[in-house]
Structure 1
Amino acid sequence: MAISQSKEARYEAYLRSIAFVNNTAYVEEKIEQKKKFLIICEGKNTEPCYFEGFPVPSKSVIIERGCNTKNKLVDFAIKKSQEEENKDREVWCVFDYDIKPDEAATQPQDFNSSIDKAEQNGLKVAWSNDAFELWFVLHYQELESNITREELYDILKVKWQLVSFHNTAKTIEYCKGHYDRHNDFNGASQELAIRRAKKLHKQFGVDKNYAKHCPCTTVYQLVEELNRNKKK
């Protein structure tokens, strides 16, 4: 009496019989696992609203406004990364240099050491010098020389056709449109922004005095990772 095949064995034989002809090899389809992200932002509206716009279901964006130094924000991120629900997430800190003349004596060291501390603890940093808005400006044009955040705001005020930058562009309602606004729309090019940001970043080489890297932003690195993990 012939022994009947198991259901699994019959199904595998069936797949082999219908899916492959001309001696092609049997290949099992594998579903690519998507990364999970925890994005911790220093900013209140601009950065979190922008990253919330990415169609990446596995991301979590939180705001940490209780930190008055970059190092304290990184300490917070390290603590969050160790929580059970975040252990399988890639953790990113998002902050900018934000020049403050009254903190000139301590600000460079805080900025530099916070980036180093994050990397030493397995975290990634999407930092900007001087302001996150540099990333937006790069969607429209190249920049090569040092530029203040107020000059960045002036450029964007024109590009976005605003009467007042601060009274409009910093509101949560306006910030919620940043992803669509900079996703290859109305003269903005994310592809060119990435290329321009890489060019600025590369010119500083391996120098770790990040406080002197201006204009520069590594936001493009987080954007590239999110793009790779967007829902289909």
Structure 2
Amino acid sequence: MPKSTKAIKVTDKAKAWNKKAKSSNYKIDTIPVNKIILIVCEGQTEKLYFESFPVLGMKVEAIDLRGQSKLKLIESTQKIIEISDSEYDGVWCVFDMDVKRGAEEFSDFDNSIEKGIELGYNIAYSNDSFELWFYLHFEYTDAEHLRGFYYDELGKKFGINYVREGKKYAFCLQLYNTLMEDENSSQEKAIDRAEKLFKKVKDLPFHQQNPVTKVFELVKELNKNLRR
């Protein structure tokens, strides 16, 4: 039987909690988009993470190219720009290096960074893994680790099996907020730690810069346009 609705007394109709809100003439000003940046990534994790930054006055076009070779990613970025109707104020390519592939990967990694820089792109590369950037929110390391280390450590910090759960859409969609809300996580410290790592290895060939993540440069750019 449906639950009966409690009648409102005539004397209660004038009370504040029974009054309908009047329409307001207050208008919220909108801030026009004055900057468009293109972020071309290797995977879903990066795309959803960067799209989650609450920017204002900036449009972020993030594209997931699903694990192409690094040089192919640079070439695809060129094609995206050629066919796009947008005039980009900045172009970022985001990729990491899987050292398991050895010399072939080293060459692809180095050549792609050099080609991207030559074309005027910003290259937010990581070695060995993009997840190094997340790990630096919690701790500093200057030891050479493979991505399995970061997966294990992040799994402990997030309370999940990172290999199984960390790449899923729902988790990636909330990752920015998860990192910002965790009392043990600090984006500010992650930026400082990443800058410290880069200064230590910047004079080495790109594939020898391990650990390193230049994601901090893209994060700093996005932070300039955050909704306050």
Indicate which of 163, 168, 174 corresponds to 1:166: 163
Note the alpha carbon deviations across 1:7-66, whole angstroms, 9 max, x for none: xxxxxxxxxxxxxxxxxxxxxxxx9984311111111x2111111101125111111127
Aligned mates of 2:35, 2:53 — CA distance in 1: 14
Give me the TM-score of the superposition, normalised by structure 1: 0.79
Cα deviation, residue 148, structure 1: 1.3
Q: Cα gap change, 1:194/1:73 in structure 2, threshold over 3 Å: closer, same or farther?
A: same
Aligned residues: 196
Q: Percent identity between the aligned chains?
A: 38
- Whether the aligned pair in 2 keeps the contact of 1:130 and 1:214 (CA below 8 Å) is yes
Name 2:118's counterpart in structure 1.
Answer: 120
Contact kept? 1:38, 1:86, Cα under 8 Å: no
**AA at the equivalent of 1:61:** A
Counterpart amino acid of 1:130?
Answer: D
1:133–1:153 CA contact under 8 A, matched in 2:
yes
Q: Secondary structure at the match of 2:170?
A: helix
- 2:205 paired with 1:204: no
Check if 1:216 corresponds to 2:209.
no
Instruction: Measure the CA separation in 2 of the matches of 1:221 and 1:205.
Output: 14
Aligned to 2:66: 65
Is 1:137 the counterpart of 2:138 in the alignment? Answer: no
Match of 2:46 in 1: 47
Alpha carbons of 1:83 and 1:154: their partners in 2 closer, same or farther (altered >3 Å)? same
Q: In the TM superposition, what are the counterparts of 1:5-154 in structure 2 within 5 Å? A: 34-43=34-43, 45-56=44-55, 57-65=58-66, 67=68, 69-100=69-100, 103-154=101-152
TM-score (norm 2): 0.80
**How far 1:186 moved relative to its partner?**
2.7
Counterpart residue identity of residue 229, structure 1: N
Partner of 1:20: none
For residues 169 and 65 of structure 2, the distance between their equivalents in structure 1, rounded to whole angstroms, comes to 16
Q: How does 1:179-194 map to 2 (within 5 A)?
A: 179-183=176-180, 185-194=182-191
- Counterpart of 1:212, as a letter, is Q
Consecutive unaligned residues in structure 1, runs of 5 or more: 1-30
Contact 2:116 2:123 survives alignment (8 Å): yes
Contact kept, 8 Å, 1:78 with 1:118, in 2: the verdict is no
CA distance in 1, matches of 2:200, 2:181: 26
* Maintained 8 Å contact 1:78/1:123: no
| 1:218 Cα deviation from its structure 2 partner | 0.1
Instruction: Give secondary structure in 2 for the equivalent of 1:85.
Output: coil
C-alpha contact (below 8 Å) 1:35/1:229 kept by paired residues: no
RMSD of equivalent CA atoms: 1.8
CA distance in 2, matches of 1:201, 1:52: 25
Q: What SS does the aligned partner of 2:159 have? A: coil
- Say whether the 8 Å CA contact 1:96–1:129 is kept in structure 2: yes
Following superposition, which runs of at least 4 residues in structure 1 exceed 4 angstroms of deviation? 31-34
